Structure 1
Amino acid sequence: MDQSFLIMLSNLLHLQNQLDPTTSILSDSSTSTTTATPSSLLTSTSAAPLLFFTIASVLSYISTTRKPSSSPSPPPSPSTTSQYSVAAFRALSTERIWAMEAPLRDAQWRSLYGLSYPVFTTVVDKLKPYIAQSNLSLPSDYAVAMVLSRLSLGLSAKTVAKRYSLEPYLVSKITNMVTRLLSTKLYPEFIKIPAGRRRLQETTASFAEITSLPNICGAIDNTHIRLHSLPSNIPNPNIYTNSHGFRSIQLQVVADHKKIFWDVCVKAPGAFDDATHFRDSLLYNRLISGDIVWEKVVNVKGHPVRPYIVGDWCYPLLSFLLTPFSWNRTGNPAQNSFDEGLMKGRKVVEEAIGLLKGRWRILQDMNVGLNHAPQTIVACCVLHNLCQIAREPEPEVWKEPEESGGAARVLESENYYYNFGESLRQVLADDLYQRLSSR
């Protein structure tokens, strides 16, 4: 019997003494007189004991059936509530998460949200001020977690809505907001051209180890992002059908030796070729106009060589973009040696794209509205860079379809850059072959 029940019984006894003085006489021998009238005595001696007995019986039943309340009940755990509810997320992501062993904690977080808990908190901390301005009814970290689960698992808005007990329109709204913030506010911080001397030196030196070619600062490639569906009122849907036969929009990236993207462009529908997409990019226009000029210069056989990027035969040969002599190694020994080294450099960007699609599976089947697809793709690129910088474990690489298409033609306006690039490529090929032959 707990303390509160004893207090209630004591109060009942006091009430009984007030209603029935005869009970008081029986319980206190010092009391010898009573002022009760016959009528009041009749009332107290008949009703009060019955009232006391009834109330005491009810309280006794309650005390024997209720659970002890000596210690506060623990908060519901994710195992007893939906693991995607706000309460469950709070229980896991506050005290409990840091009490877990780091490998177990981060493995669990990656399976749900695509990245480890420390990287997740970094994303939340950077986005929280902007999310707060939107007056969102959900906590910032919960909203980010929901969007990351959609991006990493490739879930539709309806599936996420059902899992998180939200309306699909709200899931779409939050997805659009978070991906927009990632692709605009975090893009300048995590996707940067290697312009600084230290980073440029590290990048070119690392590519030289991979390819045996000097002054490579990046590798460029294009990939198709499959569209789950298109709006029914779109004017010309055929421009989204690519050479592989499915509808897509194109993503162009330039990656460094760490498989970190330093340029991202999403502008072309699937039917466009890689060269057209490249020429429509901001990067191309900045390189053509001389807005980007890398100051690091090396001398190869008396020829000044500035940093350049490498691509496959789908891109035009230019002074700042070198491509293979042939697609099937049909050149002379020097040219074939150059092509082999160049393709080793290109493999870096192929692996980066494979990791991107392996981490963020929504890119394997883009199930957001066409208007929001570009920002979603760029947001995934930002998250990919965060993971690479933090040295997150690399997932299974997504396998791309085989490349198809012929060599890119050179525009008349590009003749100067083509001639310079052709001369540069031959110099590098001769130098490489001479170095390999002398070993």
Structure 2
Amino acid sequence: MDETFMLMLSNLLHLHNSLDPATSLLSSTTAAAAAASSTSSATSSTSLLTSSSAAPLIFFTLSSLLSFLSASKQKSSPSSSAAAKNDAASASATAAASSSKNDAASPSSDYSVAAFRALTTEHIWSLEAPLREAHWRSLYGLSYPVFTTVVEKLKPYIAASNLSLPSDYAVAMVLSRLAHGLSAKALASRYSLEPYLISKITNMVTRLLATKLYPEFIKIPISRRRLIETTQGFEELTSLPNICGAIDGSHIKIGNGKLKHVSLNQNQYRCKYGYNSVLLQVVADHRKIFWDVCVKASGGADDSAHFRDSLLYNRLISGDIVWDKAINVRGHHVRPYIVGDWCYPLLSFLMTPFSPNGAGTPAQNLFDGMLMKGRNVVVEAIGLLKARWKILKDLNVGINHAPQTIVACCVLHNLCQIAREPEPEIWKEPDENGTPARVLESEKQFYYFGEGLRQALADDLHQRLSTR
């Protein structure tokens, strides 16, 4: 019998003796045995029957109930123990599953090398092509085939740097930063890396894009085939012959904290729109592909000064670029030219509007409208650039690395345009409010020749369109 029951029965005997000492629940023989050993429990039915008190019967009933409870406890104990073990195992399994789920949902596991490898080798090919490309663009700003092109071209250079991370993983990390505008600190938290390492990898990848891939994907249209294709594309759009590109500038905003190490006057970075910036200059073709990029000026400079400081200007002035396509317009020898707004100087190779406010003759105003339609191509190209690579909306890299980061985004933009990637909603630039550019003394001959060309083009356009 259970030791707990024997203890309760012993206490019950002591209580009975104190209440009814004249009657014993046990026979004398059994009582003596019970006193000698706690393991004996034989009761005397004779003493109960002959007792004149009701107490023995009550206490016998209580002892029987306690005996029954004790026996029930012993039977249920093994199953209860097993149930407890099962409950513990179930709780442990639930906790493990919860922990596993939390680990899978944590940023570090979502962006780990293992998760990236699973995405590129298994998951990515289990999706339908449209879903696959849309998913990849949401992560890295471009489709998977374009991503693999970038990786293959950069892989030899990244491998030579002895980077401890896989090349494709490093490129994906940087593209994610450029596409979403993340800071080094935010990206470090996502990828469980130190911010300095994120900055180092970003600088390496953007430098490679801006130097190794630039010559391949940003080219002046010198070849006759591409030159004809470009001029025909612009003529279909504007009815103006021999346009080979459209030029414009754009301010790339930079945080004030990125200028703290600038030794010169920081006010030079304050642009006309009221924030600190560096100035980007691009020339685009009719497909919104950049064929020249320059980032050499702080935000305080104007478009004309930046243009004159560019390599493109020096090559055009010196005649280093030979456009192998010329036409005759009303007796004028017209070589391919680029178009821009009134913030640029009128030159023989750069056509600008007659008037910024439509104050010219009907022929001049018609020419201005068509020229600005051609110029709008580069405005849209810049809008696409900033829409795709959101880091350009508020640049969060050091000022020394700003130019290469901007140029790298231009290279990636061209890759997207060449691959015919879907165009996102265009980022709207502030309205242009610059003053007309003045002509330098050294440019006078180009200006006078440009004046004659512009008027001849305007008169020819007006005549052609008015007779249709």
TM-score of the aligned structures, taking structure 1 as reference length? 0.82
- 1:433 matched to 2:462: yes
The 5 Å alignment of 1:9-408 reads: 82-229=109-256, 230-234=258-262, 235-408=264-437
Q: How far did 1:94 drift? A: 1.1
Aligned AA (1:354): G
> Which amino acid is 1:290 matched to?
G
Give the aligned partner of residue 447 of structure 2: 418
- The CA deviation at 1:298 is 1.0
Determine the C-alpha separation between the residues in 2 that align with 1:181 and 1:76.
38
The CA deviation string for residues 126-174 of structure 1, in whole angstroms up to 9 with x for no partner, is 0000000000000000000000000000000000000000000000000
* One-letter amino acid of the counterpart of residue 378, structure 1: V
What is the rounded CA distance, in whole Å, between the counterparts of 1:106 and 1:97 in structure 2? 9
Task: Give a deviation string over 1:182-228, Cα, whole Å, max 9, x none.
Answer: 00000000000000111000000010010100000000000000001
- Secondary structure of 2:188's match? helix
Q: Secondary structure at the match of 2:244?
A: strand
Amino acid at match of 2:395: M
Give 1:320's aligned amino acid.
Answer: F
Alignment partners' CA distance in 2, 1:77 and 1:162: 16
State the distance in 2 between where 1:77 and 1:194 align.
54
Q: What is the DSSP-based 3-state SS (H/G/I as helix, E as strand, rest coil) of the residue aligned with 2:298?
A: coil
> Which one has a bigger Cα radius of gyration?
2
- Which residue identity is paired with 2:359? T
1:268 counterpart SS class: strand
- Contact 1:358–1:396 (Cα < 8 Å) also in 2: yes
Q: Is the 8 A contact 1:226 1:248 kept in 2?
A: yes
2:68 is matched with: none
How many Å separate the matches in 1 of 2:229 and 2:273?
37
Task: Give the distance between the partners of 1:121 and 1:374, measured in 2 at CA.
Answer: 25
Indicate conservation of the 8 Å contact 1:78/1:91, yes or no.
Answer: no
What SS does the corresponding residue of 2:375 show, helix, strand or coil? helix
* Residue identity opposite 2:232 in structure 1: A
- Structure 1, unaligned runs of 5 or more: 1-60, 66-74
8 Å CA contact 1:182, 1:379 repeated in 2: yes
Instruction: Give the CA deviation at 1:293.
Output: 1.7
Residue identity matched to 2:245: G
Mapped to 2, the partners of 1:275 and 1:217 lie a distance apart of 19
Letter of the structure 2 residue corresponding to residue 385 of structure 1: N
Q: CA 1:188/1:77 → structure 2, altered by over 3 Å: closer, same or farther?
A: farther
CA displacement at 1:96 relative to structure 2: 2.2
Paired with 2:125 and 2:189, the residues of 1 have a C-alpha distance of 29
- Measure the CA separation in 1 of the matches of 2:225 and 2:313: 24
Equivalent-residue separation in structure 2 for 1:96 and 1:77 (angstroms): 21
CA contact under 8 A between 1:312 and 1:324: conserved in structure 2? yes
CA distance in 2 between counterparts of 1:78 and 1:435 reads: 70
Q: What is the TM-score with the length of structure 2 in the denominator?
A: 0.77
SS in 1 for 2:193: coil
Cα distance in structure 2, aligned partners of 1:80 and 1:332: 66
Number of residue pairs the alignment of both structures matches? 369
Superposed displacement of residue 295, structure 1: 1.5
The residue identity in structure 2 corresponding to 1:232 is K
What secondary structure, in the 3-state scheme, does the structure 1 residue paired with 2:297 have?
coil
SS of residue paired to 2:259: coil
Contact between 1:218 and 1:309, CA under 8 Å: does it hold in 2? yes
Contact residue 78 and residue 92 of structure 1 kept, 8 A: no
Report the Cα offset of residue 269 of structure 1. 0.3
Q: Mark the CA change 1:186 to 1:77 in structure 2 (over 3 Å): closer, same or farther.
A: farther
Identity %: 75
Q: What residue identity is the alignment partner of 1:141? A: D
Cα shift at 1:98: 1.7
**Structure 1 residues 386 and 76, CA gap change in structure 2 (3 angstroms):** farther
**Alpha-carbon distance, 1:95 to partner:** 2.5
How far the C-alpha of 1:337 sits from its partner, in A, is 0.6
Which residue identity lines up with residue 360 of structure 1 in the other structure?
A: W
Matching residue's letter, 1:144: V
CA-atom RMSD in angstroms: 1.8
CA distance in 1, matches of 2:405, 2:105: 34
Aligned with 1:109: secondary structure?
A: helix
Q: Distance in 1 between matches of 2:111 and 2:300?
A: 40
- Mapped to 1, the partners of 2:166 and 2:222 lie a distance apart of 38
CA contact 1:77–1:91 (8 Å) conserved in 2: no
Asked if the contact 1:183/1:376 (under 8 Å) is kept, the reply is yes
Distance 1:223 1:136 in 2: 34
Contact 1:207/1:217, CA 8 A, preserved across alignment: yes
Structure 1 residue 77, shift from structure 2 partner: 13
Which residue in the other structure is 2:4 paired with?
none
SS of 2:291's partner is strand
Q: 5+ residue gaps in structure 2?
A: 1-84, 90-99
